[in-house]
Amino acid sequence: MPEQLCDSLWRASSLKAPELAQLEGRLSFDVAIVGGGFTGLSAALHLAKLGVSVVVIEAQEIGFGGSGRNVGLANAGLWLEPDQLDKTIGAEAGKTLYDALAVAPDYVFGLIDAYDIDCEAVRHGTLHAGVGKLGLAQLERRYEQMARRGAPVTLLNASDAQSRIGSEKFNSALFDPRAGTIQPLAYARGLAFAAIKEGAQLFDYSPVSKIEPTQDGWSLQTEKGEVQAGKVILATNAYCEYGIKDQARKFVPIFYSQLASKPLTEQQLARVLPNKEGVWDTCTVMRLVSFRQARTVYFRRNGRSG
Ligand SMILES: Cc1cc2nc3c(=O)[nH]c(=O)nc-3n(C[C@H](O)[C@H](O)[C@H](O)COP(=O)(O)OP(=O)(O)OC[C@H]3O[C@@H](n4cnc5c(N)ncnc54)[C@H](O)[C@@H]3O)c2cc1C
């Protein structure tokens, strides 16, 4: 395992990654995709299925970014409340995004079925658990806004929420039966296998350091290779360390921790989430360190002094 990759439950419990090579030499494709997370891999899979010649170039390993480290909730909506979404991007765009996200779990679980992806997929819904008065008020607002848009959600009272979750810390929960959970790194690796099966080419450990326009499209450069492509999809999320995007000053890195318990006993399993829903709650999940601290950590990680 390369030094920069920390170990995680997802890495320890995922199906194996496809064996890929570094990009070398000069190759040509219709479409070049930079970044091997959910965005890049899904785009590659669908383009390849349409008969387009497509390559994915990943700087590290497949699923190295958020795709291989997230919580694994396949949700049918956004963190933002639906009315806030409309206010932020306008009612028409808000509706388009809301409608697309409402069927997103169908899409994800559909791909898992179609390509037989072994990623601990469980589609038993999610419980958005309420904490305190503000949490309850937030869930009541969400429930009203989602029900108004036709979502099949249910607002559970304290006693139902507590018995479904197995904890007395929550005073309510919004149940969304459309959602579910996945092992995210295994899903990303499964998407990579599916894209390869459809004819896409994938390379790992090949950071793209330069993208330049050419007469017929684009030229992408890595340390040992070069790709000529008619079109480029930048699926690099917020990463900016390879010099192809000048985003450094627009992002403040925030570091996250994830905890895994020891395997639960049969008795505990019968009490904690007996129906195996995914759970998230109304608390603030990001405990922000001060900007100064964040900057120091960021610079240290990037080998610069703060
Ligand atoms: C802690 C955490 C928890 C989350 N929980 C959830 C959740 O429960 N449910 C949910 O739906 N979403 C969740 N998310 C969000 C979700 O993980 C992301 O939205 C999603 O993974 C983004 O996928 P992506 O493919 O766009 O980006 P990424 O997965 O970040 O992939 C970008 C890739 O681009 C590569 N790259 C960058 N620059 C270059 C370059 N120059 N050359 C080549 N490759 C490059 C990177 O190495 C990386 O692999 C969570 C995110 C985090 C961080």
Is residue 95 situated within a structural domain?
no
Task: Mark out the alpha helices in 77-183 (DSSP H runs).
Answer: 82-89, 91-102, 104-114, 132-148, 158-165
Name which of 239, 170, 120, 14 is nearest 1 in CA terms.
Answer: 14
What are 241-291's pLDDT values in tens digits?
777 776 556 777 777 777 888 889 999 999 999 999 999 999 876 544 444
Nearest CA to ligand 1 atom 52: 70
Report the mean per-residue pLDDT for the chain: 89
- Rounded CA-CA distance 29/203 in Å is 13
**Å from CA of 2 to ligand 1 middle:** 19
What are 46-71's pLDDT values in tens digits?
999 999 999 999 999 999 999 999 99
Residue from 9, 61, 71, 120 to probe ligand 1 pocket by mutation (most atoms less than 8 Å from CB): 71
**Any idea what DSSP says for residue 286?**
-
- Rounded CA-CA distance 65/101 in Å is 21
Is residue 65 situated within a structural domain?
yes
Residue from 41, 64, 67, 279 to probe ligand 1 pocket by mutation (most atoms less than 8 Å from CB): 67
Residue with tokens 């009541």: 140
Residue from 236, 242, 277, 285 to probe ligand 1 pocket by mutation (most atoms less than 8 Å from CB): 236
Nearest CA to ligand 1 atom 3: 70
- Rounded CA-CA distance 47/53 in Å is 8
**Å from CA of 17 to ligand 1 middle:** 17
Q: What is the CATH number of the domain that holds 202?
A: 3.50.50.60
- Rounded CA-CA distance 258/277 in Å is 18
CA 281 to chain CA centroid, Å, is 18
Is residue 256 situated within a structural domain?
no
Q: Which residues line ligand 1 (CB under 6 A)?
A: 34-40, 57-60, 64-67, 69-73, 75, 207-208, 235-237, 239, 242, 244, 256
Q: Residue 194: helix, strand or coil by DSSP? A: helix
Q: Given a cut of 50, is residue 85 above it in pLDDT?
A: yes
Number of domains in the chain: 1
Do residues 97 and 69 touch, judged by C-beta distance below 8 A?
Answer: no
302: pLDDT confidence band, cut at 50, 70 and 90? very low
- Rounded CA-CA distance 212/221 in Å is 9
Tokens for 300, please give them: 């240290």
Q: Cβ of 37: how many Cβ atoms within 10 Å? A: 25
Tokens for 188, please give them: 């990303």
Model pLDDT, residue 1? 45
Q: Cβ of 32: how many Cβ atoms within 10 Å? A: 28
Q: Tell me the whole-structure pTM to 2 decimals.
A: 0.91
Angle between the 91-102 and 82-89 helix axes, to the nearest 10 degrees? 140
Query: Residue 111 carries which side chain, given as an amino acid letter?
Result: L
Is residue 3 situated within a structural domain?
yes
- Rounded CA-CA distance 38/63 in Å is 8
Report the atom number in ligand 1 closest to the C-alpha of 208.
42
29 versus 259: which is more confidently predicted? 29
**Domain of 223, in residue numbers:** 1-72+183-251
**Å from CA of 63 to ligand 1 middle:** 7
Nearest CA to ligand 1 atom 30: 65
Q: Given a cut of 70, is residue 12 above it in pLDDT?
A: yes
Model pLDDT, residue 249? 62
Angle at Cα 112 formed by Cα 35 and Cα 79, nearest 5°? 65
**Å from CA of 236 to ligand 1 middle:** 8
Is residue 61 situated within a structural domain?
yes
What are 135-188's pLDDT values in tens digits?
999 999 999 999 999 999 999 999 999 999 999 999 999 999 999 999 999 999
